[in-house]
Amino acid sequence: MALSRPLIAFAFLAEKFEETGDLAQGLMPLFAPIIRKHEGQEFSADDFSEDVSSYYGIRVHPWAVQDWLSRLERESYVEKVSLAGGLYSYRYLKSPADVKTIEETDVTKLLEAFCNHAQKRFEVQGIAISKATLEQGFFDRLVSMDFLSIVLKPEAPKEPPKYTKDTLRLPVSTVQDEDRHRQEQEAQIDYVCADFILTTSVENPGLFEILVQITCGALVAEVILDFQVPAKKVEFKNLTVYLDAPFIMDLLDLSYPENVRYSGELFKQLKDTSARISVFPHSIEEMRGAIKAPLDRFERGELATGPTGSRLRSSTFRAYARSVISSVEADVKDLGISIANTSHLKSPQSRQFFTSLEEEDLSQSIGHYENVAARQRDAGSIGNVIRLRQRADVPMHNISACRAIFLTRNSRLAQKSTDFLIGKGVVGSRSVPPCIHDRYMAGLLWITQGGKGKELSRQRLLANCASAISPRQDVVKRMHSFLSELDERKARHFQALMTNSKAAHYLMNRALGDARLITRENVAEVYEEVERIAAEKVTVQKNAEIEKLHIDYKEIVRVKDQELSKSKTELDANVAVKKAQEDAYAASEEAFASQLLAKKEKKRADELASALGEVLAERERTNRLAIEQAVSFARNVQLRAQIHVAIGIGLLSIVLGLAANYAPIIFGQQSLGTNLTVLVSIGMTGLLTAVQFWVFPEQLFGQYVTRKRDEALFRKARELNVADLLDSYSVEWGKGTVRKKDNS
pLDDT top residue among 305 and 229? 305
Average pLDDT over all residues of the chain: 75
Residue 716: the pLDDT is 80
Listed range (167-171, 330-334, 460-464, 542-546) with the worst mean pLDDT: 167-171
C-alpha to C-alpha distance for 77 and 38, rounded to whole angstroms: 11
Give the dihedral of Cα atoms 456, 116, 139, 366; nearest 10 deg: -80
- CA 742 to the chain's CA centroid: 35
Percent of the chain residues past pLDDT 70, beyond the cut: 67
Q: Is the dihedral of CA 443, 399, 251, 628 positive or negative?
A: positive
Listed range (255-259, 469-473, 733-737) with the worst mean pLDDT: 469-473
Listed range (270-279, 282-291, 342-351, 508-517) with the worst mean pLDDT: 508-517
Amino acid letter, 595: Q
- The Cα-based distances of 17 to 215, 224, 620 in angstroms read 13, 11, 47
Where does the pLDDT of residue 501 fall: very low under 50, low under 70, confident under 90, or very high at 90 and above? low
pLDDT, tens digit, 9 for 90 and up, residues 122-135: 887 788 888 888 87
Residue pair 3/111 in contact by the 8 Å Cβ criterion = yes
Is residue 231 over pLDDT 50? no
Residue 152: the pLDDT is 44
Amino acid letter, 460: R
pLDDT, tens digit, 9 for 90 and up, residues 324-362: 999 999 999 999 999 999 999 989 999 999 999 999 999
Full strand arrangement of the beta sheet holding 276-279: 338-339, 276-279, 240-243, 404-408, 435-437
Is residue 5 over pLDDT 60? no
pLDDT top residue among 145 and 316? 316
Mean pLDDT (whole number) for 616-643? 83
3-state class of 82 per DSSP? Answer: strand
Mean pLDDT (whole number) for 482-495? 70
Mean pLDDT (whole number) for 524-545? 67
pLDDT, tens digit, 9 for 90 and up, residues 583-621: 666 666 666 667 777 777 778 777 887 877 787 788 888
C-alpha to C-alpha distance for 27 and 72, rounded to whole angstroms: 11
Amino acid letter, 39: E
Is residue 576 over pLDDT 50? yes
C-alpha to C-alpha distance for 281 and 288, rounded to whole angstroms: 11
- The Cα-based distances of 212 to 3, 355, 437 in angstroms read 16, 43, 19
Where does the pLDDT of residue 295 fall: very low under 50, low under 70, confident under 90, or very high at 90 and above? very high
Residue 163: the pLDDT is 46
pLDDT, tens digit, 9 for 90 and up, residues 371-391: 888 899 999 999 999 999 999
Q: Where is 650: in which H helix or E strand?
A: helix 586-666
Give the dihedral of Cα atoms 714, 716, 722, 727; nearest 10 deg: -30
Residue 689: the pLDDT is 59
Facing residues of 241 across strands?
277, 405
Listed range (40-54, 164-178, 209-223, 305-319) with the worst mean pLDDT: 164-178
Q: Is the dihedral of CA 439, 445, 446, 452 positive or negative?
A: negative
222 CB-near residues (< 8 Å, 6+ apart):
58, 143, 440, 443
pLDDT, tens digit, 9 for 90 and up, residues 409-465: 888 899 899 999 999 999 987 788 999 988 778 777 766 665 555 555 556 556 666
pLDDT, tens digit, 9 for 90 and up, residues 69-105: 777 777 777 888 888 877 888 888 866 555 444 556 6
In terms of Cα–Cα distance, which of 105, 58, 62 is closest to 215?
Answer: 58
pLDDT top residue among 19 and 609? 609
Mean pLDDT (whole number) for 21-29? 55
Give the dihedral of Cα atoms 111, 112, 118, 124; nearest 10 deg: 170
Listed range (50-54, 366-370, 430-434) with the worst mean pLDDT: 50-54
Residue 603: the pLDDT is 80
Residue 3: the pLDDT is 47
Where does the pLDDT of residue 252 fall: very low under 50, low under 70, confident under 90, or very high at 90 and above? very high
Is residue 684 over pLDDT 80? no
Alpha helix locations (H) across 131-280?
A: 131-144, 148-151, 174-203, 205-227, 245-251, 257-272
Q: Are strands 78-82 and 88-92 parallel, antiparallel or unpaired?
A: antiparallel
Mean pLDDT (whole number) for 657-663? 69
